[in-house]
Amino acid sequence: MNRHYYISDNLDELESVENELEARGISTEQIHVLSERDAEVQQHHVHDVPSFLKRDVVNSGQLGVAVGVLLAAIVLIGAYLTGLTQTAAGWLPFIFLAVVLVGFATWEGSLVGLQRPHNAFRQFEGSLREGKHVLFVDVKPTQEALLDQVTSLHHLELAGTGSAAPDWAVAIERKWNQFRRMM
């Protein structure tokens, strides 16, 4: 799948684009609107980006896990090489310390990520501060022409392309939304 980014300052236009795309077979889960004006986005009934996903929590958390695993390996190898595991306590305190280090580094990495915008959205910070909105659509290669047809009928500024969410992630979101509608 490919992700296409468009910038607009008109939420009515973006709502119209989303409705047309959905009417032509692109699912709601493939369409998102990124904005700093969340209340306005909700009023227009477009599929917005959840606040959690606007931040870089996941990527920074993964980096934290990597750092934690590295620290844990250093502790365990250091304990083994120094012979400290031959004492009465054995491996238990070092294994516990390794687990704590992985958990702490993951937590700390995620906290750092809360402070930064998601890396895929950093390029749009200026436009978002100006009050504009970013529409991004994840499409399969077979849907590219359909997207071009719909967007050519509207006043949207093409802002680039990027890698999209994997098919399985879109499918999970679709199933989750179906489940929520049933409740």
User: For residue 70, which phi and psi values (nearest 5 degrees)?
Assistant: -60, -45
**Residues of the chain whose pLDDT is less than 50?**
none
Which pLDDT does position 105 carry in this prediction? 97
Say what the pLDDT of residue 38 is.
Answer: 78
Identify the bridge partners of residue 33 per DSSP, sorted by sequence position: 48, 135
Helix, strand, or coil here: 33?
strand
Say what the pLDDT of residue 112 is. 93
Q: What is the pLDDT of residue 2?
A: 86
HSE value, Cβ hemisphere, 13 Å, CA-based, for 143: 19
Q: How many CB atoms lie within 10 A of CB 70?
A: 13
Token pair 């093409």: residue: 158
Which helix or strand (DSSP H or E) is residue 38 part of? helix 38-43
The Cα angle at residue 81 between residues 75 and 84, in degrees rounded to 5:
75
- What pLDDT sits at residue 107? 96
In three-state secondary structure terms, 61 is: helix
Q: For the full predicted model, state whether its pTM sits above 0.85.
A: no
Give me the pLDDT at residue 103, please. Answer: 97
DSSP, collapsed to helix, strand or coil, labels residue 172 as: helix
Adjacency order of strands within the sheet including 133-139: 31-34, 133-139, 2-8, 157-163
pLDDT of residue 117: 84
